[in-house]
Structure 1
Amino acid sequence: MNEYGKFSQLRPAQAASDASDTVISKAGFQIQDGEPMPLESLPDRVHDVAVAVIRARLAGYDAARAYAKLSDEDLSRRDIPRWTRDRGQLPRVDVLPLADGFSGATPYEICERYAVGEIDRDRLIDELTRFPYVPGGTTDGYDSLIVDPPGTWSEVSDAECGGLIDEQVYEEVFTARHG
């Protein structure tokens, strides 16, 4: 692992392992036999795909934010594709805006940027410690299903379970926030 995240460079070959049952879910978790699998334990051929998927998702967020910024400046919807050489592929994804001083709009996005080497460990810990977390979801009293809104602490837990950050980062941020 280097200072820019554990997945920013290709790892050395690992012992043979079968990735035939490994899939990457929409949320970014690696699933093997129904259980989350940390990125660092993926076989190289699957690891490279997982990193590429995360990078593509982050690029989509960046493009959508840049497009929204141009749209906010009252530029013509016809001029933007012409100036950007877009061929009908402008981002149509709604993304949360970035807050000043953060590399991601949510804790999970910040962890993704660390995992692919866009930010270093010190910045990751600083941003996760300062992040303005929102309260988690609650039940309606009848159903135990809880769906957390974007920006909750559960995203840090998800990032740790999914292998985007390690347990030491999780513990350091948790201790800094909760004493």
Structure 2
Amino acid sequence: MKRRDSAAILIGVLLVALALIWWFRPSEYPPVTVGGKLPGPCRDLNFEAIPYIVCEIDLRSYDVAVFHAGADDKAFGSLEKFDKAMSGEGRPVLLAMNAGMYHEDLKPVGLLVENGREMAPLNLANSEGNFFLKPNGVFLVRKDGKVAIMETNAYAAAKPDVAFATQSGPMLVIDGRLHPRFEANGTSRHIRNGVGVRDE
């Protein structure tokens, strides 16, 4: 991927449906051995007495991609299987996350684009569950290497030229404000992960 501008991704803004993977570019950096510690771009953080792990990814140093299935076209199904597959290809993984927005057969609920190829279509339906808590959105990596998060209908209208994209929901922060359906005293205490974009 060609890199023109500096970029950083801040984990914590959009729940994603699939694995987002960052790895060192082997030609520029030595292999990473984490040894039970957080990788370099990550840190522990507490907010209102709740612990988080926040990872800031600078795209001048890392690649970011979305993967769902292996060479056999079967969904990885776990981060362990994914890591083993990448290691077998000589691609060391620095960080992988998986929000688990899948149907029972492990097909993605919404849009999935891998290496410029649409593997699953954009989902504009209304239904129950986190994915459909509107507005939902799309995390994308353009073919020029820039990243963005777009609300689903905005993505449908813009039809950007993407290398990687994944749709999920709900969006957590929209134009600097929390999702309007979030309740201060909501009952959900499930552990979540997400991705956000601070600049392109």
RCO comparison, higher one (Cα < 8 Å, 6+)? 2
TM-score, L = length of structure 2: 0.28
More helix per residue: 1
